[in-house]
Every structure is written in structure tokens, then in C-alpha cells.
Amino acid sequence: MPLKRPPRTAWLGFAGALALGALTVFAFAPYRLFWLMPLLLAALGLLVERWPSRGFAFGYGFGLAAYTANFHWIYQSLHDVAGLPAFIAAPLVLLLPAYLALYPGLTLWWIGRLRPRPLLRWLVAFPAAWTLTEWLRSWMLTGFPWGAIGYSQITESPLSALAPLGGIHLVTFAVALSAGLIVAAGRLWRRTALAAGLAVAAAALWGGAQALKPVEWTRPVGAPLTVALGQGNIPQALKWQPDIFELTLMRYYRQVATTRAELMILPETALPAFLDELPSGYLTMLAGDAARKGMALAVGVPLRTGDGAGYLNAVVALTDPKAPSYAKNHLVPFGEFVPLPLVTGWLYQFMDMPLSGFSRGGANQAPIALAGQKVAFNVCYEDSFGEELIGPARHATLLANVSNLAWFGKSHAMSQHLQLSQARALETGRPMLRATNTGMTAIVDARGRIEAVAAPDTEQVLTGRVQGYTGDTPYMRVGNLPVLVGAALLALVAGLLGRRR
């Protein structure tokens, strides 16, 4: 018996899902049209209502287009910077969205299999399942949480006020619930009283979140201090070249020598050599110049492990005689370690990837005392993982991220990364200082607002004042567990009540 082909109209629905996914790029930074995300998800839900048996296809198409549109900059890192040939780089760029799209695909496959009860499907099952699958992809295969729909609400949306309560996954749940309310209202619009009740529920959700925005969950500690954040703007293709080495060292020395602040931070691997291999006297000159001005100085630089067998992506406090350091623990696959070397190792013969075998620094590293503050550092995309920052933030008054996004050229990656840092500031009630090589170097306050930002792709030092904070937000006390347990219970109820005969 021949296979039954999907109706032509279903293909139009799939094309619609692709278009909706591609439009999600405008919901995130740098565009920040936060209201767009619930509308796009609602339109996707209405497609599934029209063709419930195509739930997986529509969800997969939506995810494939969304993640390709949002993460197309990976091609620049693989091809333009690392030198991977285009015929290899292009398929690898599509490989990540092809994997990530499985999660919305599975969510809508399950939704399509439930009984056609709009309230159950869209107010219970949909937000619960979407939240759980986004949490799942945030740790599976080391995790990739970029593009979670909750980030689209940081910080312009009223829903961003939910981040200190339950983290980014609670914001994600609220976005999915908002979309579900729209779908349910669209399906039940003829039942006027019920549709009106759904509208009231949506207004209560957004209005209640807006009422939480002025709440300060943590409290100031100590006096404000002046900070300076270096942005060297060294092209990644030149960063590790011997003939640019001296220029790099002098550029950062000049920034330190001409800056007056209580605390200065230079970005990830700002000094492109192991700490013990830097020219004799350079560190003494750098730290001495800062110390004479009473300025604490922390610098991103590779370190060797204690046994000398490995190396670390680290930040070192040069003006402290003990030279305390923080070393990155959550490493980037392919960029900082080789996953499944027997399977993927052959790729490195085509790429220029210096220091692609970092060691982990270890969990729960203590904050570093600098300029009367306790600074919890994170490196590069470590600020994508909210729950991992809770422990260090609890003992810190400031958060600081050092990054080098020159790998991704003049792309949206810089703005998207800044939005992740804003979410971490909101969750922990701590300011976030960002020192980056090419952008976005920024000062983010304890409520996630951008106080100052340096123009990307320029050499400069961003200066400003920042206030340290102490105390725990509700999210710091409970982590992701309440949201995940709640979502799992809702999904269980929906599964039991929505089973088809």
C-alpha cells in the first residue's frame, strides 16, 4: 500500500512554521521586540491546531529556521576565523540548529497527540512541555541554552521581573503560557465569556509581572566604586600571530597606563601567551603601574595547570601579591575541548584553533577580592548557565564576565551575549561587569539594566561607577527545581487527562 502523501495545505503550514521561526531573530537582541515572541509561538500553535498530526514537522521546521537565523554567526567562526573550508563549515553550521530543533519538534508532537481540549493543551501542556525541553537542551551534550524564549523578554518586557523569582525558565514558562492563552482564545472565541476570561488572565500575568519590576531582592553593600573595562579590539585572525604579539601587549599596557579607576578588568586571553611565558618585566610593569594609582587589575590570560600537563582559560588578579585566579570550568565544545576526538579530531587539521584543549578549572571557585569587593568571574559563555552562577554569586558582591567574541565577527552574537549577562544580573541581584575584546563591553546594574556600553569593534576603555550588592534573590535560594517540578507535574496531569483512546 503506497504511503499517504501529506495534503498540499499541510506543506503551506510547514512553510508558515519556517517563516515564524525565522522571525524570532527580531525578538532577541539587538532588536528586542519582546512582544513578538508570544505572537509567533501563538501562530505556530494555531498551525498545530489546524494540523495536529503534523506537530513534529511544524515544531521542527520552526526550530530549524529559528536557530539557523539566530546562530548563523557560527559560520564566521568556523570559516572566516578558524579557516575551515566552506564545504565543511556550512553543513556543520546547520548541524547545531538541526539538533536543537528536535526539542520544539518533540514538544509539538506531544501536543498534537493530546485530545483536542484547547485549555488543557495550551494552558497546561504547552508551557510545561516547552519549559522542560528548553531546560533539557540547556545541559544535554554539555548544553546550549542560547535562544531560549525567556531571553527575548530581558529586560524590556514586564515578564523579565520573573527572573529573580524562578530564573530564566520561569520567564520561558510565562512566554509559552502567554502564547497558549492566545491560541486558546482563538479557538474559543465564540464562547465570549471564556474568551474574555482568557484575556483577563493574560492581562493579570503581564500586569502582575510589571508590578514586581520595582522590587529589589538584594541590598547595596559598601560604597560605589569606579571601574574600567578594557576593549582591545584585536582581530581573532591576528590574535595569536607572533608579529602582532608586541602590539597587543603595548595596546593593553597603554590602556592600563592611561586609566584611573579603583578596579580595571581586561578581557578573556587579553595577553595571548601563557602567564609564565610573557616577556620579562612586562607583568611587573603592568601591575606596578596599576598599583601606583591604587587600581586593582584583573587580566584574562592562559595559565598552566599545577602539574604542567594542561592549561586553563583564566583571569588573574595581577595587583595581588598572591595572584589569585579564576579558571573557566564550563568549556565550549570544539573551541576549548575536542568532543569525541576519535570522531571529530580530523576536523582540526583544517582549522587554525590555538589552545583548543583547555582543562576545566573546577566548580565552586571562590570569588576574588578586588578593590574592596568580592568579584565572581565567569568566562565567555559560562554566563549562559544561570544555576551554575548561583553558588559563586552568593559569596560575591559583583559578577564579571570576560569574553572574546571576535570569533563571530560583526554579528548579533555580541548583542545576544549581552542579553544573557543581563539575565544573570537579574537572577542574582548583582551587577555584571563585561570586559570583551571586540564587544559588548558593558556595565549592567543589579536589575539587569545596561548602565554603559562601549561601541563594538573599537579600541577603548569603558569607565563608570558600580554599586556592590549582597543578599539572595528567591531564585538563588531555590534554583531551577520548583519551576521544573511544577512543569513536570503539569505535563503529567496533561498527559493523563489528554490521552487519546
Contacts of 91 (CB under 8 A, 6+ apart): none
pLDDT of 19-39, one tens digit each?
Answer: 999 999 999 999 999 999 999
Q: Is the pLDDT of residue 345 over 60?
A: no
Yes or no: say if 230 and 270 are a contact pair by the CB < 8 Å rule.
yes
CA distances from 407 to 11, 219, 277, 394, 411 (A): 37, 37, 24, 32, 10
* Residue with cell string 602539574: 307
pLDDT bracket for residue 346 (50, 70, 90): very low
Q: How far, in Å, CA of 46 to CA of 59, rounded? A: 12
Q: How far, in Å, CA of 199 to CA of 204, rounded? A: 9
Q: Which residues are catalytic?
A: 268, 328, 380
Other C-beta atoms within 10 Å of 184: how many?
27
Yes or no: say if 399 and 432 are a contact pair by the CB < 8 Å rule.
yes
Rounded to a whole number of angstroms, the distance between the first and last alpha carbons of the chain is 25
Residue 351 or 423, more confident? 423
pLDDT of 147-190, one tens digit each?
Answer: 999 999 999 999 999 999 999 999 999 999 999 999 999 988 78
Nearest Cα neighbor of 431 from 174, 169, 222, 252 is: 222
Q: Quote the pLDDT of residue 10.
A: 81
What are the two backbone dihedrals, phi and then psi, of residue 69, each rounded to the nearest 5 degrees? -65, -40
User: Which three cell numbers, joined as nine digits, stand for 405?
Assistant: 567574541
Write the DSSP symbol of residue 2: P
Contacts of 45 (CB under 8 A, 6+ apart): 111, 122, 126, 179, 180, 182, 183
Yes or no: say if 45 and 180 are a contact pair by the CB < 8 Å rule.
yes
Q: Is the pLDDT of residue 452 over 90?
A: yes
pLDDT of 102-131, one tens digit each?
Answer: 999 999 999 999 988 889 999 999 999 999
Q: What angle do CA 113, 119, 121 make, to 5 degrees?
A: 20
Yes or no: say if 55 and 109 are a contact pair by the CB < 8 Å rule.
yes
Average pLDDT over residues 193-205: 94
Average pLDDT over residues 300-320: 91
Task: Parse the chain into domains and list their residue ranges.
Answer: 8-216+480-497, 219-472
Alpha-helical runs (H) found in 101-239: 102-113, 118-120, 126-137, 163-187, 192-212, 236-239
User: Which CATH architecture best describes the domain 219-472?
Assistant: 4-Layer Sandwich (3.60)
Residue 251 or 192, more confident? 251
Residue type, 464: G
